[in-house]
Amino acid sequence: MAQVHLKNVVKKYGSLEVVHAINLDIEDGEFVVLVGPSGCGKSTTLRMIAGLEDISGGDIEIGDRVVNDLAPRDRNISMVFQNYALYPHMTVQENLGFSLKIAKFSQSEIDAAVQNAAEILSLTDLMDRKPGALSGGQRQRVAMGRAIVRHPDVFLFDEPLSNLDAKLRTQMRVEIKKLHQKVKSTIVYVTHDQIEAMTLADRIVIMRDGHIEQIGTPLDVFEHPVNTFVASFIGSPPMNFLEAQIDGGKIILQDGTALTMPAGYAANEGQKVTFGVRADNIMPQNHAMPAGNNMALVEMEVSLTEPLGTETLLFAELAGSEVQAKMLNPRPVQNGERLTFEISLDKCHIFDAQTGNALKAQ
Amino acid sequence: MMQSVSAQNRKRIAKTAHFVGLFIAMSIICIPGLWIVLNSFRPTVEIMAKPPVWIPNELNLDHYRAMFGGAGEGGVPVLTYFRNSMIISITSTVIALLVGMGGGYAFARYHFKGKSAIFVGLMVTRAVPGVALSLPLFIIFARLGIIDTHFGIILAYVAMNVPFTIWLIDGFMRQIPKELAEAAEIDGCTRWQAFWRVEFPVARSGIASAGIFAFLTSWNEYALASQLSRSTTSKTMPVGLLDFTSEFTLNWGGMCALAVLMILPALVLTFLVQKHLIAGLTFGGVKG
């Protein structure tokens, strides 16, 4: 087990810089998820930690060692790949034991370690099969088993669930979380799926274009996004954004609707801002909206509904933009129906219209 | 009901048509081969008969006996030719495979300057007919003093086979996800170990089929070998066939007998590795 430190780590391909001097400190035993849209540099960062990509600048430390120039085999890490990368010519047993065999452990030690990993991941019935004869979920478990057999310092997961169907993905997500509770190793996990990030992580690292946008616990990044990118990336459905201007200490939407400032935010008079509100914080009146101090009422026409069972998503227009609202304890709603919605303003966010950064009160 | 019966009939007709078509195609491919085998077992009179005798009256081993017999009885040094062919084909195949594995792996896995130009260059050498090179090769080899040696012919065959094995193995290596080698490296392998313990076994079928092609090319090659070999020290079996021609006669029976001996090893080899060959040639369709 070990800490991982990234200090001003840079990755360049020729003259193209894809990761820009990122800093990240990962605690021993922590589950950190790197999340971001494709091409944000998250996989590259993971591969640099693994040693599969050279770093162009900065330092990577695992434990107390600077590992910049160490080969992957000398870093005591293990990795689960998106396509599992199981050795197709070996049985599950051989796949699991391969790393120990390379490290020249005795057969009895290998058997014991493999047996142990197989039990943790309930693979004992599949030991003689080859990867080709396994289902997606089983391959995934073998890949994880191969990773835990060696008791590495750090586990690296590169989008391990993206090849699975939705149901299996949820199931494996739980298994990964359980696995972490069992082995208590440091885990760095890459995904583009914000739900995976939220559910698995101790801390989330949100990346965009080779920069780290925000690091924080799942609730932290959900409740206090530092900019519009994080706000729209984390949470489902994505946060609604409305253009507005500050006038007389109030937020004035484009149709003239005036809203009180959310708690914790401050903006200059006349400043152009983006008003952000999640669907969870706009609800029709009398639909179980938790009571708050700072509520606003707006009337909107519903243009589309998406019933999800426990809740219904309502699409409506507010101040010239489409917004999504939520209805708990749903009742049927007709398209075109006008409803009065409550907005819980203290849960809303104010961003600078130009930079997109949150306008937090100092 | 009517519809299903007519659909069934149509299916049956299609099946018959396929069968007939396949039979005709296979006949065109196989009959010359079978004719050679047949001719090697029957007397010259029957071989030369006009109109041809389709059903042999008499089968014997006379041509084989004569071939292995002394010089006066129309014998040829079959065993020497066989040995030459074996040495030359196996050695050139092994070298071509080793070079092909290195080259194919490099082309599939690494980026380097001039990669595509080198690759196209290699392929272009395949576009030049070997015979066109036989005279320049002969002159150079003669100057070097390697005419009529195993080494000379092996050299020519390696040059002929390498582009092909590189091209084939590059194709197979590309199909192997590079994550396999990466996983092996993380599991503790050096790059070299990752290749031998993971990528090579996975690509085995492909490499085997490249080997078969290289071997058969060398084994069957005639044009270059006929120029570069002069005597029994280096003559291969295809060149040895010419021993049955003389100024006024052609010993068809003997030629056919030697041809049968030539086909046999190729046939056995193909049969032994056909599983790999099929797996190798259909690699893309197999999901790992």
- The sign one gets for the Cα dihedral B146, B151, B153, B157 is negative
Q: How far is A350 from chain B (nearest CA, A)?
A: 44
Q: What is the pLDDT of residue B110?
A: 87
Q: What is the pLDDT of residue B56?
A: 82
Report how far residue B216's alpha carbon sits from residue B266's, in angstroms, rounded to the nearest whole number: 7
Mean pLDDT of A98-110: 91
Distances (CA, A) of B60 to A44, A271, B37, B56, B141: 73, 107, 12, 10, 43
Task: Spell out where A63-196 has E strands.
Answer: 65-66, 77-80, 154-158, 186-191
What's phi and psi for A6, nearest 5 deg? -110, 125
Residues of A with CB under 8 A from a CB of B: 50-52, 71-73, 77-79, 81-83, 85-89, 98-99, 102-103, 131-132, 146, 150
pLDDT in tens, B162-180: 999 999 899 888 888 888 9
What's phi and psi for B137, nearest 5 deg? -60, -45
pLDDT in tens, A49-69: 999 999 999 999 998 889 999
Q: What is the pLDDT of residue B1?
A: 54
User: Is A232 a member of any domain?
Assistant: no
Of A52, A131, A146, the CB nearest to B182: A52
What's phi and psi for A248, nearest 5 deg? 60, 35
Report how far residue A328's alpha carbon sits from residue A310's, in angstroms, rounded to the nearest whole number: 7
Closest chain B residue to A154, measured at CA? B186
- Do residues A213 and A252 both lie within one domain? no
- Do residues A153 and A270 both lie within one domain? no
Report how far residue A322's alpha carbon sits from residue A303's, in angstroms, rounded to the nearest whole number: 9
User: Is A84 a member of any domain?
Assistant: yes
- Do residues A183 and A273 both lie within one domain? no
**Of B187, B189, B195, B207, which to mutate for an interface test with A (greatest number of A Cβ within 10 Å)?**
B187
User: Is A199 a member of any domain?
Assistant: yes
Report how far residue A309's alpha carbon sits from residue A250's, in angstroms, rounded to the nearest whole number: 36
CB B164 within 8 A of CB B210: yes
Cα torsion A178, A181, A183, A184 to 10°: value is: 150
> How are beta strands A31-35 and A154-158 bridged, if at all?
unpaired
Smallest Cα–Cα separation from B221: which of B153, B142, B145? B153
Report how far residue B53's alpha carbon sits from residue A238's, in angstroms, rounded to the nearest whole number: 86
Q: Which residues of chain B form CATH 1.10.3720.10? A: 77-285
Distances (CA, A) of B239 to B95, B142, B166, B213, B230: 23, 19, 28, 20, 10
Estimate the crossing angle of helix B2-40 against helix B252-272, to 10 degrees: 130
B182 touches chain A (CB under 8 A): yes
Q: What is the CATH number of the domain that holds A30?
A: 3.40.50.300
User: Is A281 a member of any domain?
Assistant: yes
- Do residues A208 and A272 both lie within one domain? no
- Do residues A101 and A248 both lie within one domain? no
CB A274 within 8 A of CB A291: no
CATH topology for the B77-285 domain: MetI-like fold (1.10.3720)
Q: Spell out which residues of chain B touch residue A82, defining contact as CB-CB under 8 Å.
A: 179
Say whether pLDDT at A147 is over 80.
yes
Mean pLDDT of A105-132: 90
- Do residues A201 and A279 both lie within one domain? no
Q: How far is A144 from chain B (nearest CA, A)?
A: 12
Q: What is the pLDDT of residue A351?
A: 93
Q: Spell out which residues of chain A touch residue B287, defining contact as CB-CB under 8 Å.
A: 132
CB A46 within 8 A of CB A158: yes
User: Is A360 a member of any domain?
Assistant: no
Task: Spell out where chain A has E strands.
Answer: 4-13, 16-26, 31-35, 57-62, 65-66, 77-80, 154-158, 186-191, 203-208, 211-216, 240-247, 250-253, 258-260, 272-277, 282-284, 295-307, 311-318, 321-328, 338-344, 349-352
**Of A47, A80, A99, A188, which to mutate for an interface test with B (greatest number of B Cβ within 10 Å)?**
A99
Q: Give the residues across from A250 on adjacent strands.
A: A247, A260
Q: In terms of residue numbers, what domain contains A325?
A: 240-352
Burial class (CB in 10 A: 0-12, 13-18, 19+), B116: exposed
Tokens 């409506």 appear where? A316
Q: What is the DSSP string of A1-57?
A: ---EEEEEEEEEETTEEEEEEEEEEE-TT-EEEEE-STTSSHHHHHHHHHTSS--SE
Q: Which residues numbered 120-179 in B keep a CB inside 8 Å of some CB on A? A: 177, 179
Number of domains in chain A: 2
Q: What is the mean pLDDT of each run of 10 residues along chain B (288 residues)?
A: 77 94 93 90 85 83 83 77 94 95 91 89 84 88 92 93 91 88 91 90 86 91 89 89 82 89 87 73 44
Smallest Cα–Cα separation from A6: which of A201, A194, A185, A207? A207
Distances (CA, A) of A33 to A45, A191, A197, A352, B202: 12, 7, 6, 27, 33
- DSSP element (H, E) containing B48: helix B44-48
Q: Spell out which residues of chain A touch residue B202, defining contact as CB-CB under 8 Å.
A: 87-89
Q: What is the pLDDT of residue B286?
A: 37
Q: ipTM higher than 0.90?
A: no
The CA angle A334-A336-A338, to the nearest 5 degrees, is 95
Please indicate whether, in this complex, the C-beta atoms of B186 and A71 are within 8 angstroms of each other: no
Cα torsion A256, A261, A267, A268 to 10°: value is: 60
- Do residues A205 and A249 both lie within one domain? no
Say whether pLDDT at A120 is over 80.
yes
Tell which wins on pLDDT, A293 or A328: A328
Q: What is the pLDDT of residue B67?
A: 83
Q: What is the pLDDT of residue B72?
A: 66
- Do residues A320 and A211 both lie within one domain? no
User: Is A233 a member of any domain?
Assistant: no
Q: What is the pLDDT of residue B285?
A: 37
* Confidence bin at A239 (pLDDT 50/70/90): very high
Please indicate whether, in this complex, the C-beta atoms of B288 and A103 are within 8 angstroms of each other: no
Q: In what order do the strands lie in the sheet with A65-66?
A: A16-26, A4-13, A57-62, A65-66
User: Is A231 a member of any domain?
Assistant: no
User: Is A110 a member of any domain?
Assistant: yes
- Do residues A176 and A265 both lie within one domain? no
- Do residues A128 and A202 both lie within one domain? yes
Q: List Cβ<8 Å contacts ≥24 apart for B189-197.
A: B189/A73, B189/A102, B190/A71, B190/A73, B193/A102, B195/B105, B197/A102
Six token digits for residue A202: 């101790």
Six token digits for residue A345: 């303003």
- Do residues A219 and A326 both lie within one domain? no
- Do residues A47 and A104 both lie within one domain? yes
Six token digits for residue B77: 């040094």
Tokens 């008791």 appear where? A151
Q: What is the CATH number of the domain that holds A348?
A: 2.40.50.140
What's phi and psi for A4, nearest 5 deg? -130, 130
Query: Around Cβ A66, how many Cβ atoms within 10 Å?
Result: 13
Tokens 């392929």 appear where? B123
Work out the percent of chain A whose per-residue pLDDT is above 90. 51
Report how far residue A176's alpha carbon sits from residue A179's, in angstroms, rounded to the nearest whole number: 5
Q: What is the pLDDT of residue B284?
A: 40
Q: What is the pLDDT of residue B287?
A: 40
Distances (CA, A) of A49 to A2, A4, A68, A71, A207: 13, 9, 9, 11, 16
Six token digits for residue B47: 């071989």
pLDDT in tens, B228-269: 998 888 899 999 888 888 778 888 888 899 999 999 888 888
CB B214 within 8 A of CB B207: no
Six token digits for residue B68: 């292995």
Estimate the crossing angle of helix B200-220 against helix B252-272, to 10 degrees: 180
Report how far residue A150's alpha carbon sits from residue A112's, in angstroms, rounded to the nearest whole number: 12
